[in-house]
Amino acid sequence: MGNGDDPRRRIPRTDQLLALPEVAAARARLSETRIRAIIRGAQDDARRGGISPEEVTDTVVGTLAATATSTLTPVLNATGVIVHTNLGRAPLSAPAREALTAAAGYVDVELDLATGLRSRTRGAGARAALLAACPAAEDALVVNNGAAALLLATTALADGGEIIISRGELIEIGAGFRLPELIETTGSRLREIGATNRTHPADYVDAVTDRTRALLKVHPSNFRVEGFTSSVDVPELRRIADEHDLALIADLGSGLLTPDPVLPDEPDIDAALRAGADVVIASGDKLLGGPQAGILLGRAEVIARLKRHPLARALRVDKLTLAALEATVAGGPTPVQQALHPDTEQIRRRTGALAEATGGRVVEHDGRVGGGGAPGHPLPGLAVELPEALAPLLRAGGPVVLARVHQGACLIDLRCVPPHEDDRLTAAVTTALTKLTTLEEGN
């Protein structure tokens, strides 16, 4: 076959493909680099014989239409775990999503609209919302995550000295990051006291030296120690701190602003402040139900000291986080709160309808808070039990559904699935069941 007969000569040129109206329309949402990569990919596929030259144009147009601007895939969380770390922790409320969209453009984050001059009110709305929701706090500061909040507090308040902490509270906070290693990067030294299961007030008192600057109380939110245990509560630590002129830092982690009867053993920020903590640290994307953020609430002079520290500028959050956090706190019930306090009768009806539509069986199923909140605390509920082999098909489907695989079964828990998604969920499960039947018949 001569060169004139080579089918590769019929592959559309790049300039011809770039001139397509569909390509011009795609430029509104995709970069030129991305578009050219898609075109080259189709041309290369034709050169290899994977598609015919005549299919190149349709392939380019189809790929452009199917290409998303983000590689993150929306997931229906049917695990029963509310704050699912692998799924981005807390889903944002509708007001928070609206606030994100509004803040995505130009906003008066550091501008006084009355004078047209730069203002010092950055984050004032989020601060006001937090203070209204947590009456015991005198002031608030928001940084980019919980670890950053702890880093700032220990850096500014310990000032290179010693921080006393119970051995039972030396936790690993996830992905291999251990609390002692984090704090020691500040130049401060952790002085470990007590035993893993028992620490007493005298252990703190005996450990105080002229280098001691702070006491640190960490809520072990991702594990539980039971049996022969004891720890020192915040009021007693306040007494010790006052006797020795020390700062008292409480890291609660999970972000419960005020008590919740569903989680009786989970400490809340308001109570810790009333008990005497100088500053309380929590995450924004756990029980609070907002965006990733590190929240510091406490006494006015202590928060002012943290704000003045140079590290605070490096850990500052952006306008999107501030907008979403303010809307989360000032808005109505978040998806996290709704999942913690579901309408049990509605859940029963929805679960029964899914079971009937898919041939599954309704079983009792305990949900969990997740994300290091209320470890081991069950949240009684229901799930639809289906064959275990269904789980990977659901993860590969559309919409993507993440179910729980447990004791040889695929469990679909509707606690965290919004009711308006029921039809899509049912369709996804039905499609996956059909695929599973076809696979089994093929074997």
Tell me if domain 75-84+337-442 and domain 94-331 are identical in fold.
no
pTM greater than 0.75? yes
Alpha-carbon gap, residue 278 to 262, rounded angstroms: 27
Which stretches within 72-223 are classed as H helix? 94-103, 124-133, 146-158, 179-184, 201-207
Pairing of strands 409-412, 379-387: antiparallel
Dump pLDDT digits (tens) for 334-346: 999 999 999 999 9
Query: 36 to each of 42, 57, 71, 371, 441, how far by Cα in Å?
Result: 10, 13, 18, 41, 43
Residue numbers in the chain where pLDDT is lower than 70: 1-4, 173-177, 221-229
Amino acid at 45: D
Dump pLDDT digits (tens) for 213-223: 999 999 876 55
Pairing of strands 212-218, 247-253: parallel
Alpha-carbon gap, residue 316 to 143, rounded angstroms: 5
* The pLDDT value given to residue 1: 46
Q: Which two tokens stand for residue 365?
A: 């199923």
| CATH architecture classification, 75-84+337-442 | Alpha-Beta Complex (3.90)
For residue 368, report the phi and psi dihedrals to the nearest 5 degrees.
-140, 155
User: Percentage helix, strand, coil, to 5, in the chain?
Assistant: 45, 20, 35
Q: How many CB atoms lie within 10 A of CB 342?
A: 17
Closest-CA residue to 280 (of 309, 264, 256): 256
Distance, C-alpha 319 to centroid of its chain: 18
Alpha-carbon gap, residue 380 to 402, rounded angstroms: 19
29 CB-side CA count, 13 A: 10
Alpha-carbon gap, residue 213 to 439, rounded angstroms: 65
* DSSP symbols for 118-161: E-S-TTHHHHHHHHHH-TT-SEEEEESSHHHHHHHHHHHHHTTS
Alpha-carbon gap, residue 276 to 312, rounded angstroms: 24
Q: Residue 367 in contact with residue 42, Cβ under 8 Å?
A: no
Pairing of strands 189-193, 162-166: parallel
Distance, C-alpha 216 to centroid of its chain: 25
User: Can you give the residue ranges of every domain in the chain?
Assistant: 3-66, 75-84+337-442, 94-331
- The CATH number of 94-331 is 3.40.640.10
